[in-house]
């Protein structure tokens, strides 16, 4: 059985403020870097045989935390980038809703096509599923970790499983530095084993001394 871990990157300042990142190359913030370390300490126990990452810094630096623990090099794959949001990128979601209300309405309704300059769900799902399959082929019978992005991760998982596109609306958003576990064998194909798994995002506050 091959195991594929689809891992969302750690937190960024744009995540924290609700700004649309898309394929803008936004770095991790201090919280995101700590989340990557905390998650890597759990993922290393799965004994990954290969690590593949989006080439955007927030995913690549998340993957590097696991690479440091395993000694594995991280293979970049630009197909694992986030959805391209065109003119939305850099805007707050509140600004998108105010400035581009028709596109925003289509997005909230889960439409495949939002606008001419925004990647469709179908195109994103296909490139992500292809990248996932190629990553899994690096270690048949082993564990492969793929560091990527929230929206693209969900759509790629849906496509890989062969589920109808309407099903995506039943998936909760992946939290930063949480992951999806998929398993594959020859008789059953791809199966969903776990979803939104990861470390606690907030550390407990120590009691006053």
- Give the active site residue among 41, 82, 95, 186: 82
Is 14 flagged in the annotation as binding?
A: yes
Is 13 flagged in the annotation as binding?
A: yes
Instruction: Give me the half-sphere count of Cα atoms (radius 13 Å) on the Cβ side of residue 3.
Output: 15
In Å, how far are 61, 63, 175, 191 from 32, measured between CA atoms? 9, 12, 11, 29
Q: Is 180 helix (H, G, I), strand (E, B) or coil?
A: strand
Which tokens go with 143?
A: 């564990």
Helix (H) or strand (E) holding 102, with range, is helix 101-108
Is 130 flagged in the annotation as binding?
A: no
- Give the active site residue among 9, 149, 178, 184: 9
Is 11 flagged in the annotation as binding?
A: yes
Strand partners, 4: 144, 182
Task: Please count the other Cβ atoms lying within 10 Å of the Cβ belonging to residue 123.
Answer: 14
Is 7 flagged in the annotation as binding?
A: no
Task: Please count the other Cβ atoms lying within 10 Å of the Cβ belonging to residue 12.
Answer: 20
Please confirm, yes or no, whether 82 is among the known catalytic residues. yes
Task: Please count the other Cβ atoms lying within 10 Å of the Cβ belonging to residue 54.
Answer: 26
Please confirm, yes or no, whether 9 is among the known catalytic residues. yes
Is 9 flagged in the annotation as binding?
A: yes
Is 149 flagged in the annotation as binding?
A: no
Task: Please count the other Cβ atoms lying within 10 Å of the Cβ belonging to residue 31.
Answer: 18
CB–CB of 50/75 below 8 Å?
A: yes
Which tokens go with 125?
A: 């799902």
Annotated binding site for substrate: 8-15, 58
Annotated binding site: 8-15, 58
Active site residues: 9, 82
């Amino acid at each position: 059985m091959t195991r594929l871990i689809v891992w969302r990157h750690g937190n960024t300042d744009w995540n924290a403020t609700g700004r649309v990142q898309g394929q803008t190359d936004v770095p991790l913030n201090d919280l995101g870097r700590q989340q990557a370390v905390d998650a890597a300490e759990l993922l290393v126990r799965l004994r990954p045989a290969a690590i593949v990452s989006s080439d955007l810094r927030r995913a690549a630096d998340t993957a590097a935390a696991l690479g440091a623990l395993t000694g594995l090099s991280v293979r970049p794959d630009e197909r694992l980038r986030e959805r391209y949001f065109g003119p939305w990128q850099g805007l707050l979601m509140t600004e998108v809703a105010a400035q581009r209300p028709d596109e925003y309405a289509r997005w909230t309704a889960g439409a495949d096509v939002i606008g001419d300059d925004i990647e469709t769900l179908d195109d994103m799902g296909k490139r992500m599923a292809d990248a996932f399959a190629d990553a899994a082929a690096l270690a048949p019978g082993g564990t492969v970790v793929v560091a990527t992005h929230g929206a693209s991760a969900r759509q790629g998982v849906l496509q890989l499983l062969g589920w109808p596109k309407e099903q995506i609306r039943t998936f909760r958003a992946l939290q930063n530095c949480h992951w999806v576990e998929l398993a594959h064998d020859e008789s059953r194909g791809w199966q969903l084993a776990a979803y939104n798994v990861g470390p606690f995002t907030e550390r407990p506050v120590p009691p006053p001394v």
